[in-house]
Amino acid sequence: MRTRHSVRPVQALAGLLLASALVLTGCSSSVDKTSASDAGAKAAVPGTAQQEGASGSGNARNTKSVPKLTASSIIRTASLSVRVKDVPKALDEARTTTENAGGFVGNETTTRDGQGHERTRVVLRVPTDKYDEVLADLEGAGKLLDRTAKAQDVTDQVVDVESRIASQRASVARVRELMDRATKLSDVVELEGELSTRESDLEALLAQQSSLKDRTSLATITLSLSQTPVAKAAAKDDSPGFVDAVAGGWHVFVTLLRWIALALGAVLPFAAVAALLAVLWLRLVRPRRAAAVPAATAVGPLPAAPPVREEEQGGQD
């Protein structure tokens, strides 16, 4: 009777140990099934699937406990349109305000319209804690025409990216560990391809994280500066006055003198030729004609008619 009672506790203890082993085996297999990409890498190296699966379960538990952010991650953007008297001066003041706040100036575009008015569009990046202060200073630079401000909460996206980065880093580490244990060339080649894919995914996640960090730590302000148009002069009375009459008469007088000068200029060549002909006439032609007249009178008087005889005279009577 004593022998029978001693055998039963031994059988019960053996059954308990077997059940515990089955439970542990089931947990390991469930963890291995959670990642399909890890299963392919494990199959490449025989005999290491269970060991890698156990380490992978520990890493999965660690990655799930991501610490919560102490502050919300918010992307702040604003757009301002301000009309100022002097665009270059206002632009210099905006640059100084941004740099004093610890920010920097991004893209800048300056144009001029048909009337010579200058327009400038500049992108400013300022720390989020100085965002409201800088925005107020820029609004006071002139007359505010338009303002648009936006705030986008990306806290969940930041947490998700950080969690995925932690998981991807653990995945890359597991593949590298499998490469160190691989003995076949085919296994090494397959694992190298898997490692390259996972490292590319990790780099993409890190770039996304960097972009989120930049946009949440620095606010973006797009500032548009335009020049104030010059005020037009008041309309004057169109009826002419004494001063207008004097100005009009002077204009007519000047115009008349101009036309007289033009007429004289047109006649001057002909007058010069006429004066030259007159000089030639007085100096050459006229003296010669005057000298020819006395020569003709020096020949003598004409012969007198013969006297009439008395007889002829009596016969005529």
pLDDT at 287: 76
pLDDT at 238: 59
Which residues on neighbouring strands pair with residue 84, listed in sequence order?
227
Q: Where do the structural domains in the chain lie, given as residue ranges?
A: 74-156
Phi and psi at residue 204, to the nearest 5°: -65, -40
Q: Which CATH number fits domain 74-156: 3.30.70, 2.30.40, 1.20.58, 1.10.10?
A: 3.30.70
- CA distance linking residue 94 with residue 103, whole number of Å: 11
Mean pLDDT (10-residue bins), the chain, 317 residues:
42 47 41 44 46 44 44 86 90 92 89 81 92 90 90 90 92 89 86 89 92 90 85 53 77 85 84 83 76 57 56 51
Strand order in the sheet with 74-84: 104-112, 118-127, 218-227, 74-84, 143-153
